[in-house]
Amino acid sequence: MDAATLDRLGIRASQSGVFAGSWLEAGGGEIVSLNPATGEPLARVRTAARTDYERVIACAQEAFAAWRLTPAPVRGEAVRRLGQALRERKQDLAALITLEVGKIRSESEGEVQEMIDMCDFATGLSRQLHGLTIASERPDHRLFEQWHPLGPVGVITAFNFPSAVWSWNAALALVCGDAVVWKPSPRAPLTAIAVQRVAVEALAACGAPRGLLGLIVDRDAEAGRWLAEDRRVPLVSATGSCAMGRALAPTVAARLGRTLLELGGNNAMIVMPSADLELALRAVVFAAVGTAGQRCTTLRRLILHERIADDFLARLVAAYQSLTIGNPWEDGVLVGPLISAEARERTLAALDAARAQGGEVLCGGRAPDRPGFFVEPAIVHARPDMPIVAQETFAPILYVLTSRSLDEAIEIHNAVDQGLSSAICTDSVREAERFLSAAGSDCGIVNVNMGTSGAEIGGAFGGEKDTGGGREAGSDAWKAYMRRQTCTINYGRDLPLAQGVRFDVR
């Protein structure tokens, strides 16, 4: 990673973080983006003042007025070009993600690939924004549904997927005919600025309105509040902590707006005695340690059947001890830094709490003596009733629990507030199907013989309970970005009323 990459992406020592058809002066203040692997500053970003925000929204409204009338397949073509531009910039963008949030290179490339996949998916979708035709109960009547663009969509993203989550929303919103106003994490503003540049250029080349994609970097949560309160923004899609969702959702609800929430997870995997334990082991390590435990889908609780617990745990500890921790751009490194010094402190505090509550740290959990915000992935032998186990610490801490039966494991599995992702490792069809049944996992995502993280974009992504209920990316998640219209046409000469109601005017 070198200065030339930053240069190619248009990142300077200091730049505006606000785009409203063009880059604004940005009068809010300034933040510094740090390289979490070294703790050193990368670049400075000027943040949005309220007046800048107003310009972004005005621009988005104006762009929306035109974009909503552009035929959906033409909108799809613009998104296809965006995907093409991302393909061309994949290596540079991945390098920047590694530099700014500390993901290992392969995961950063995967993140950019996720954006490309979303563009491909949305391009196809642009010819499939189907409404139903429904049998009318009245003669000479046609009843059908159609989907219209909704308006400017607010998109709030977190540091851990600093670009992919934007694309889950933006690619869909664009083909659905909406404008997008992006508030990225203040921890990852450079990635947002680089993606914004690529996207704006690609869309402008297709003649899309320049204000279609807005960007508002802020210092903390103020722009999130502005979006939440703003009636001009009919949908706010937000990814982040449960606490963030709890603050945001009531504000949007108070103006009867829509939210699409993708909040915390406390994801668990059940390992049964029939499982392929070698496969289960690999699945656990990627899910618990990948992205240094900073995915909302990260495996946080491992529920081992007591018959295999000791053996599996011994192998797991050995696997953890072989993990290479270090600079995320180096080959062979699997564990990069956490995002910040605070994240490292929170991790150490959670481990202290786990010990105080009777847990035993079996390996890891130390902060290596080196620059950057590193912490060794930890395995904690725990009990389900320890309060810390019910909390999501956004870090590579894996709580290991044991169970005597599948039903007990499912009970432990579901006994947390969050409901994002879940997994079972078993070779028994009966056990797998039980976990997938209405009496099984209560999560939005359920996997068999794989980990909890690493979902494909083709499925709808999101979860239940405190995870917020929203669904993003594939399947029919696009419907959240449009307004549904139920239409009835009478092509006869009578006026029959529904439900057989008579109302004869003499």
In whole angstroms, the minimum distance from the beta carbon of 463 to ligand UN1 comes to 11
Residue 366 corresponds to which tokens in the numbers above? 């130390």
Residue nearest to ligand UN1 (CB): 455
Of 109, 111, 222, 262, the catalytic one is: 262
Considering the complex, state which of residue 15 and residue 157 has its C-beta at the smaller distance from ligand UN1.
Answer: 157
Quick check: is 296 catalytic?
Answer: yes
User: Shortest distance, CB of residue 481 to ligand UN1, whole angstroms?
Assistant: 18
Per the CB < 8 A criterion, the answer to whether 18 and 26 are in contact is yes
Q: What residues are paired with 133 via a beta bridge?
A: 144
What is the SS3 string spanning 120-174? Answer: HHHHHHCCCCCCCEECCCCCCEEEEEEEEECCCEEEECCCCCCCHHHHHHHHHHH
Amino acid at 431: E
d(CA 301, CA 230): 38
Q: Which of 52, 51, 44, 50 is CA-nearest to residue 23?
A: 52
CA distance 64 to 424: 44
Which runs of consecutive H residues, i.e. helices, occur in 396-485? 406-414, 429-436
Strands (E), 353-417: 360-363, 378-381, 397-403
Count the Cβ atoms, other than its own, within 10 Å of residue 362: 17
222-229 vs 50-67: helix axis angle to the nearest 10? 50
Q: Can 262 be counted among the known catalytic residues?
A: yes
* Residues at the site binding ligand UN1, with contacts judged by CB under 6 A: 160-161, 165, 239, 295-297, 453-455
**Catalytic: which of 59, 119, 242, 296?**
296
- How far is the CA of 120 from the CAs of 296, 297, 326, 502, in angstroms? 24, 24, 34, 51
The nearest distance, CB 173 to ligand UN1, in angstroms, is 18
Residues 6+ apart with CB under 8 A from 386: 354, 357, 358, 359, 399
Q: How far is CA 498 from the centre of its chain?
A: 43
Catalytic residue numbers?
262, 296
